[in-house]
Amino acid sequence: MRSTLLAYVLALAALLALTALAFTVGRYPVPIGQLIDLLIGKSQALPPTARTVLFEIRGPRVLSALLVGAALAAAGTAYQGMFRNPLVSPDILGVSTGAALGAVGAIFLSLGVFATQLFAFGGGLAAVALVYWIGSRMRGHEPMLALVLTGVVIGTLLGSAIALLKYLADPYNQLPAITFWLLGSLAAIAPQDLAVAAPLALAGLAPMLLLRWRVNLLSLPDDEARALGVDTRRLRSVVVAAATLMTAAAVAVSGIIGWVGLLIPHAARLVVGPHFGRLLPLSMLIGAAFLLAVDTLCRTIAPIEVPPGVLTALIGTPFFLWLFALSRRGW
Amino acid sequence: MRPLSGLLVCAALLASSARAATAVVDATGREIRLAAPAQRVYAAGPPASLLVYAIDPHKLLGWTRALRPDEAAFLPPDAARLPELGRLTGRGNSANVETVLRARPQLIVDVGSTSPYFASLAERVEAQTGIPYALFDGRIEATPATLRALGRLMGEQARAERLATWYEAELADARRRVALVPRDARPRVYYGRGIAGLQTGGGGSINVEVLDFLGAVNVAEEARAGLVAVPIEQILLWNPEVILTTDPDFWRAARQDPRWRAVRAVETQRVYLSPHLPFGWFDFPPGANRLLGVWWAGKLLYPRAFDFDLRAKVAEFYQLFYHREPTPAQLDALLGEPGVLPR
């Protein structure tokens, strides 16, 4: 218990320190003194650009990195617990692929930024709804296995639809836009994106937090859970819906950023064990800090943007393999 | 003996003169030989379509993508009836080789990058189909030479020469005007692509060739060649005096979005949207059409040096290359669209 508390404190401290650092660095130099003045409200005398950078550009971007990181990590934690499988990531049921198809479709139809986000969000929800609907009708199979397999096949189908749209897209204009979206990035975040995505992600988080004790039971075999008086089917659908809502909200504004939802729950579980109630908050803290660190690098190390998915994979792959080699314990 | 040898000499002469008329060395150094000038030409990409169409619309077998109604409105009615044959070049390769063959082309032409990748592609397709495949340089500066070579392959030397001479004169005129503008009087330009305007062409990339031709100061010069994504803070740091874009969504957003408010170009309302009908002016397709972009951007960046009547020039280009002079209403629509020119 004391080590859990320590882990929380450390993660929170790291997150706060990183957030403070993230606010102070960026391609556009804003002196720390000005930043502090801005934050305490003495902004009248300052150049308007500093204000714009802090409140319209860097601030929303830092907050969105925290939000997306936490959301992906939370969804990953929920899915990994539910599926009792360490290789599960939030897109196992097709949310990312569905969102990608929605966004690619919107770009293909030359719709605007907001429509692209809306299509991505709707596509993510629709894909998971479809997978869940089909998967839960596969009677005679272990329900989790049916869900995962359905998710894999539907994901492949959606992937082909994306490929078709890329193929048909205008190669000079739409194809680069699609490629950039699929790479994922927080570069285009505006305050209004955050204002829409944050409430949706919180709406997904609320049931997870409220049900955190029961979610543990999902990792038990169905009959055992039922013996404890839990309607696993209903609970599972609530958790899937919540995790999907969080992921779809995140992906709609960020594009596809891999590894966070797969890697972070592992790291957190290594510290505090598999208990969902303890695992979820720590996972979110680490996820937020991780993506913030990655995104801060992405927007500062070069005049051009570095795709965050590339950095998360570069960091994630060796770390994941190391964790995997290290951990032998089961659920 | 004598008449026979005379005949032989005659035949040899004829053969060599015929060969001289229809053998052309393309931009990759390969010799393209045709038994007779090509009457049926398949253009492998949009820049090639445009040039073949400009030289002789009746010899173009089809477009790589069917024209949309708003594009077709700028071309003679025949143009819209040409079939869609797909692209055979590089990324977004969508042509079915059998479909191409069914159109019975006598020559395949691609105009664009002449890098080894495209050269080897040309060789492969030529070996596979047995149809001569000519690859020409698509840079703005290379357009007159490309026109002339293509004219010879198509047996339309006179027409091609007329276009090439005109194009050369216009390039020389634009160059002369650029030279009038001292280096320190040239504004710093950002070219924003994509709906959020956060993608741009780094120094030397094909997307900003118009800027390079104009000797303009591309703020993203330091980025690598090719399309890159940039952080908005970096754009604030570059603080461009002019923003050019091909994207109407970004054009609107840049003027309303508070994140862009601090950029000098936005403050001074120098954010401009390039016309795109029937083919883009500024960036894509990356072909001869970008002379329009040179004029347009030249006028925006160096209004005093580019003091000509853009409307008349545009009408002339469309007449020459698209075979149809735009109606006054069409010119109004092209040049009067919000953002195209300063109010």
For A32, the token pair is 């720390």
C-beta atoms of A303 and B224 within 8 A: no
DSSP state for residue B282 in the 8-state scheme:
S
B89 pLDDT tier (thresholds 50, 70, 90): low
Average pLDDT over residues A12-30: 91
Banded model confidence at residue A329, pLDDT cuts 50, 70, 90:
low
How far is residue B103's CA from residue A131's CA, in Å, rounded to a whole number? 44
Query: Is A295 within a domain?
Result: yes
Q: What is the 3-state secondary structure (H, E, C) of A214-268?
A: HHHHHHCCHHHHHHCCCCHHHHHHHHHHHHHHHHHHHHHHHCCCCCHHHHHHHHH
Nearest-CB residue to B229 (from A168, A171, A304)? A304
A-chain residue closest to B248, CA distance: A112
Please state the rounded mean pLDDT for residues A42-59: 79
Residues of chain A contacting B, Cβ within 8 Å: 26-29, 48-49, 52-53, 56-58, 107, 112-113, 116, 167-173, 175-177, 180, 185, 187-188, 190-191, 299, 303-305, 307
Does any domain span residue A246? yes
Cβ pair B223:A177 closer than 8 A:
no
Cβ neighbours for A123, distance < 8 A, ≥ 6 positions apart: A98, A99, A100, A101, A102, A103, A105
Highest mean pLDDT among A183-187, A243-247, B97-101, B115-119: A243-247
Given a contact cutoff of 8 angstroms between Cβ atoms, the answer to whether A182 and A104 are in contact is yes
Confidence band (pLDDT; 50, 70, 90) for B94? low
pLDDT of residue B10: 45
Amino acid identity at A50:
A
- Residue A110 to chain B, least CA–CA distance (Å): 9
Q: Are strands B242-245 and B271-273 parallel, antiparallel or unpaired?
A: parallel
- Of A290-294, A323-327, B265-269, B278-282, the one with minimum mean pLDDT is A323-327
Q: Is residue A22 part of a domain?
A: yes
A215 has pLDDT over 80: yes
Sign of the C-alpha dihedral computed for residues B55, B58, B59 and B60 taken in this order:
positive
Q: Are A73 and A89 in contact (CB under 8 A)?
A: no
In this model, does residue B1 exceed pLDDT 50?
Answer: no
Report the candidate in B78, B77, B76, B96 with the shortest Cα–Cα distance to residue B86.
B96
Read off the pLDDT of each residue in A65-85 and give the average, rounded to a whole number. 91
Whether residue A70 lies inside any domain: the answer is yes
CA B174 to chain centre: 16
For residue B137, the model assigns a pLDDT of 92
Domain contains A237: yes
Distance CA A115, CA A69 (A): 23
For the cut 60, the answer to whether the pLDDT of residue B18 exceeds it is no
Adjacency order of strands within the sheet including B41-43? B41-43, B107-112, B133-137
Interval B179-227: pLDDT, tens? 999 999 999 999 999 888 999 998 888 889 999 999 999 999 988 778 8
The pLDDT mean for chain A works out to: 88
Separation CA B180–CA A86 (nearest Å): 67
- Ramachandran area for residue B26 (φ above 0: left; ψ -120 to 50: alpha; else beta): beta
Using CB atoms, pick whichever of B234, B261, B285 lies closest to residue A52: B261
Which residue range is the domain that position A150 belongs to?
A: 2-326
Helical residues (DSSP H) of A136-173, grouped into ranges: 143-168
Q: Answer yes or no: do B223 and A304 touch at CB < 8 A.
A: yes
Does 3.40.50.1980 match the CATH number of domain B180-336? Answer: yes
Which CATH number is A221's domain given?
1.10.3470.10
Mean pLDDT, range B312-327, rounded to an integer: 96
Residues 6 or more apart from B248 whose CB is under 8 A from it?
B273, B339
Question: Where residue A175 falls among pLDDT bands split at 50, 70, 90?
Answer: confident
Strand bridging mode B133-137 / B107-112: parallel
A 10 A CB-CB count for B268 gives: 11
Q: Locate the chain B residue with the closest alpha carbon to A301.
A: B231
In the numeric block, which tokens belong to residue B174?
Answer: 């634009």
- Structural tokens at position B33: 């030989």
Domain boundaries, chain B: 8-175, 180-336
Quote the CA–CA distance of A58 and A67 in Å, as a whole number. Answer: 14
Average pLDDT, whole number, for chain B?
88
Query: ipTM greater than 0.90, yes or no?
Result: no
The partner residue sitting opposite A28, judged by closest CB among B87, B224, B236, is B236
Answer yes or no: are the C-beta atoms of B43 and B86 closer than 8 Å: no
Contact B230 A305 (CB under 8 A): yes
Distance CA A169, CA A109 (A): 9
Q: Which residues touch B138 (CB under 8 Å, ≥6 apart)?
A: B47, B111, B112, B113, B146, B206, B286, B287
Testing the interface with B: which of A61, A173, A181, A311 to mutate, by most B Cβ within 10 A? A173
B200, two tokens = 């741009």
**pTM tops 0.90, yes or no:** no
* Domain annotation covers residue A331: no
Cis bond leading into B278, ω under 30°? Answer: yes
Mode of pairing for the β-strands spanning B41-43 and B199-201: unpaired
- Checking if the pLDDT of B91 tops 70, the result is no
**What is the total count of domains within chain A?**
1
Among the partner-chain residues A27, A170, A177, the one whose CB lies closest to the CB of B233 is: A27
CATH class of B8-175: alpha beta
Amino acid at the residue A293? A
Residue A90, preceding peptide bond in cis (omega within 30° of 0): no
Q: What is the distance between the alpha carbons of residues A80 and A89, in angstroms, rounded to a whole number? A: 7
| Chain B residues within an 8 Å CB radius of A171 | 87, 90-92
What does the CA dihedral A56, A59, A65, A71 come to, rounded to 10 degrees?
-90
